[in-house]
Structure 1
């Protein structure tokens, strides 16, 4: 049986609590506009985020344009006319970003898991489909950047998960073969299926589910249950 010498992680939804950070951010942002957030408005926000993000990932629009797309979809739904120019939209989105960033948090125990793995001699990396600048900023803000050896973003690599080439690059930067790497993520296709297609071992983590067990238990299962 091949020894696991490295563990790779997705970021949003795996190490970084994007859902609760973004929920706090959008609640504060909407209230600053005089709108009381509701479940329906938050659902629309996250749907617009996902749709715009996919358009960016597939190369249809720029990263900044996917942010403008979100505002243009959500603001009319709450009775606010969005700015009619890109600069105005960007300035308004910056207000949301300030609230979002203020709420950034790692999942409980994430730092302890990374520290424990490194102490056992395992190399650690992050592979994320997010933008280079923002994802590195997140890792710094939540105190995790110094706990991983490698950070790979799809924007920097030019390939997005679940493309097996992204996982192969991660393994190479970690100095291991894909078979010696365990990948941990919250998306069945982008993370688990993608990693396995590259020859990695992979486990799914669900921090928000009814039976969430946390990173340590998932990793212990991934390393010990092969």
Structure 2
């Protein structure tokens, strides 16, 4: 990284899988949804419902409307059951939102720092706002960009440039933190940012990642190290 970064001024974060522990949150939601709607799912075994939901969900890249349609077709349920389950998802998912390991430590550090902080996430505006509120993040960031609201989504370079502009920082003074190899790490690196990959067992490690963390606790030390390296080089 020598010669590429000059004193970190800003950090941009992804949301799902980076700050939100989407996997654990979704697992808890699915189990609760089955119990809550057992009267409509009496002929479906709970483990089958869980396993099939995870399969159809495709790690979040299949819209829930399609997930529930697939479940309805497989279990030969009435069409309206799928609509009710989808409504249940939008209404109850955020009761189960849990953060990634090290979240509290990182947020405390960020609040005490002078860094410009931003969030860039793909997804539906209201749903992602509810996730942000569930994690008490609304007041942490100086800018929040949600793909539906912005009309563009990752990995489009434009949404990254928009985030940098809103924070008033340049790419070479900014870190992007994310878990998706293409939408987050490769795209952010292409935009000129330093990248931190939050380990996700669903993906192979992206070659574009400058750093890899297994816990958000590690991020403050990376920033400190980069800024110390810069200070030492400019003495």
Counterpart of 1:49 (choices 57, 61, 78) is 57
The 2-side partners of 1:208 and 1:51 are apart by: 11
Counterpart of 1:81 (choices 77, 91, 114) is 77
Does 1:13 find its partner at 2:13? no
Counterpart of 1:112 (choices 96, 100, 105) is 105
Task: From the superposition, tell whether residues 110 and 207 of structure 1 become closer, same or farther in structure 2 (CA, over 3 Å).
Answer: farther
Counterpart of 1:143 (choices 126, 136, 149) is 136
Corresponding residue pairs, total: 209
The 1-side partners of 2:190 and 2:165 are apart by: 16
The 2-side partners of 1:92 and 1:171 are apart by: 38
Kept in 2: contact 1:52–1:69 (CA 8 A): no
**5+ residue gaps in structure 2?**
203-211, 230-235
Q: Deviations over 1:28-87 (max 9, x none)?
A: 22232233332x643432342238845xxxxxxxxxxx332111112333x241416xxx
The 2-side partners of 1:156 and 1:202 are apart by: 25
**5+ residue gaps in structure 1?**
55-65
CA RMSD of aligned residues (A): 2.6
The 1-side partners of 2:155 and 2:84 are apart by: 33
Kept in 2: contact 1:180–1:200 (CA 8 A): yes
Task: From the superposition, tell whether residues 219 and 112 of structure 1 become closer, same or farther in structure 2 (CA, over 3 Å).
Answer: closer
User: TM (normalized to structure 2)?
Assistant: 0.78
Q: CA deviation at 1:8?
A: 0.7
Q: CA deviation at 1:208?
A: 5.6
Does 1:126 find its partner at 2:119? yes
Counterpart of 1:159 (choices 131, 152, 159) is 152
